Structure 1
Amino acid sequence: MSNDVWILGGTGRSAQKIAAELRQRHIEPVLVGRNAERLAAAAGESGRTVVSASIDEIVDEVRRQRPQIVINTIAPFADTAAALIATGVHYIDIANDRAAFSSLFERDAELASAGQTAVTGAGFGVTASESILVKLLEGRPAPTRVRVDMVPSMETEAGKVGESLAASLIGGLAYRDRAAGRLGSRRMRLTLPDGTDVLTASMPLGDGSAAARTSGAPVVIGASSMAPTGAFRFVMPVATALLSIRPLAAFAQRLLARMSVPAAPRPREYSWGHAHVEWSDGTVRDGWLRVDDASTFTGIVPAEIARRLLDGAGRGGAFTPAALFGSSLAEACGAQYVPGFVAA
């Protein structure tokens, strides 16, 4: 049915990639947004649209029309997720910020009781690093220490930063965790499986939260090649203190979302998810997941999850992608585990 899956923020870049992947799976999505003309152009002749000016209007329409699944690309996810989950429909988002994860995970028991599936982090950053982590954890008890690294490579289109990415970046900048480290700390030079080197550093986002929940490890570091590693990291203590003030954080997020970025080619052939896991008995496992374009992967993952939920493969509760569907989900989305990835 054409009313089964709604994509909120339907004219955005991520939403358009998700819509294309849904159509590949013979699912025609309903695009939801504010601008009727842009929605109609994005949906095409055969597509359906819902024009709503605010999240409150969207919630009213979801309650009235009762789609089976909503895929949310509208930040701030901690706020929009709460409103949408209250409608009782199955929920998927592409969040990668700790506030959104925390607020969703707190509702796990409520969602489980209702038989309602909610999946957060259905994009490259969380799915890539969590999937390789789940692979490394197979057959092992809870580890003592985990580090996950995301190394995205994507073609950048000219345009605005956007609310979703801005919310994740500002949230990560403001986050404080002594073990995980503040933004730009815990630097490490990694040699990728293709032989090239990349520098990663702490970027306290949702992928770290997913790794902590999945592994049960007391020490978890979430890092990225996108984290600042130059002189900018020395202003982090001041920036963190300022952004702990909510009005300043909100202002900074709005400002960042409106900033323009130039077009740029992919910096490397592949994107990578990496995990390093240590156990108290001295066992160490280290592995890689290879992905093509990171932004394309962010379109594929929500579409594949939606297809599985429509097929009845979900279960009630709050999840991240690999926590719900295991390490094979990434492979179904085109990723590959590097042969010989385990070092015991």
Structure 2
Amino acid sequence: MTTWLLYGATGYTGKLIAQQAVERGLRPILAGRSKEKVQPIAEELGLEFRIFELDNQAARHLEGIGLVLHCAGPFEKTSKPMIHACLEAGAHYLDITGEISVFEHTHSLHEAAQKREIILCSGVGFDVIPTDCTALKLKQALPDAVELALGFDSDSGISPGTMKTMVEGLGGGNIIRKDGQLTAVAIGKHQRMIDFGRGRKSAMAIPWGDVATAYYTTGIPNITAWIPTPKPAAKAARLMNVASPLLSSEKVKKPLLDWIDRRVKGPNEEERAGSSAYIWGQAKNADGVIKTCRIGTANVYDLTVYGALEVTQRLLSGDYPGGSWTPAALFGPELLESLPGSGRFEIDSFYPGTAN
């Protein structure tokens, strides 16, 4: 099997992926910036390791590497140098981001990846495999859809990396896809009631990665992403729009990031095992026909491990066309159903003028 490298093996999710990879008989080379952090994990797992910064010399550290699974966030800062290192070295690139800006940048390099005959695929974790596969399933069920809403409900805890990404995004507002274009809107402006799979709940639109990726997967021009949000919390989010400049300042962010380093550890195995995720999607065409899709999955962190390794193994053992791809565009919606802990897609239909 082609040699592959896992960068960011010392983070919460990166370490879970490394451990699961070894359990599956895989032998990634572990990598990161700190020898003091990477070496003990590599020695514990019996793996090789490399130490290097993500700078304009990173490509020379990818000699002999056929694929990089990039797990070191925040990806808005780290993905560009790693992607360009992969392009230079001729290695496939995967990451577990959920950041819209990263998806857009990765997509912009489609032709460059085609020329190098490598694959760039951002979002091979919970961000965005479940919702991306749901989007394509709905596109297949309703080919002429013009609106797409996607979302999830989960009680999973939060890792340090995820919380840092949230802090970095403070004051950024919401983003939706409108008429094919990414459009900034006030956070808390869009609210609705949604049954994600365990009863109707108040929900709020958020700047989730699917407003970027689902457009490239399906071509549907109007896309929103949703999570359960109690109405008082949604109201508070609207009030945060006023404080956006303050929340965006480094004076506010740095103390929060330092606190995360000291205090946030991420959910343990028992907590992950008890927190399944519920994925929901809804497509609508110009005639008012609505298709609603639901599926249950493993918790967000375990699914990230399963998804990242499944995509890695498929790329290492298969032959796929070069370019920038979403997970569902590469492997179809069945990718999600193949992962441990996932159920089967269930689709309901509504036709105007008929009883629901």
The TM-score normalised by the length of structure 1 is 0.84
Residue 140 and residue 197 in structure 1: after superposition, are their counterparts in 2 closer, same or farther (change >3 A)? Answer: closer
Residues 149 and 200, structure 1, Cα contact 8 Å, conserved in 2: no
Residues 66 and 92, structure 2, Cα contact 8 Å, conserved in 1: yes
Residue 38 and residue 267 in structure 1: after superposition, are their counterparts in 2 closer, same or farther (change >3 A)? Answer: closer
Residue 61 and residue 10 in structure 1: after superposition, are their counterparts in 2 closer, same or farther (change >3 A)? Answer: farther
For 1:50-129, what aligned pairs fall within 5 Å after superposition? 50-52=50-52, 54-56=53-55, 59-63=58-62, 65-87=63-85, 88=87, 89-129=91-131
Residue 84 and residue 154 in structure 1: after superposition, are their counterparts in 2 closer, same or farther (change >3 A)? Answer: same
3-state DSSP class of the match of 1:91? strand
Residue 354 of structure 2 is matched in structure 1 by none
Residue 14 and residue 200 in structure 1: after superposition, are their counterparts in 2 closer, same or farther (change >3 A)? Answer: same
Residue 279 of structure 2 is aligned to residue 279 of structure 1: no
Q: How far has the Cα of 1:61 moved from its partner?
A: 4.4
| Residues matched between the structures, number | 332
Distance 1:237 1:189 in 2: 22
Residues 12 and 160, structure 2, Cα contact 8 Å, conserved in 1: no
Distance 1:31 1:251 in 2: 34
Q: How far has the Cα of 1:144 moved from its partner?
A: 1.3
Give structure 1 regions of 4+ aligned residues with deviation exceeding 6 angstroms.
none
Residue 228 of structure 2 is aligned to residue 225 of structure 1: yes
Residues 185 and 229, structure 1, Cα contact 8 Å, conserved in 2: no
Residue 235 of structure 1 is matched in structure 2 by 239
Amino acid at match of 1:6: L
For 1:127-166, what aligned pairs fall within 5 Å after superposition? 127-138=129-140, 140-156=142-158, 161-162=160-161, 165-166=163-164
Residues 289-329 of structure 1 show CA distances to partners (whole Å, capped at 9, x for unaligned) of 21122111111111111101101243211122112111111
Residue 257 of structure 1 is matched in structure 2 by 257
Residues 195 and 201, structure 2, Cα contact 8 Å, conserved in 1: yes
Residues 129 and 207, structure 1, Cα contact 8 Å, conserved in 2: yes
Structure 2: gaps of 5 or more residues: 352-356
Residue 332 of structure 2 is matched in structure 1 by 326
3-state DSSP class of the match of 1:337? coil
The TM-score normalised by the length of structure 2 is 0.82
Distance 2:190 2:305 in 1: 30
Identity of aligned residues (%): 21
3-state DSSP class of the match of 2:242? helix
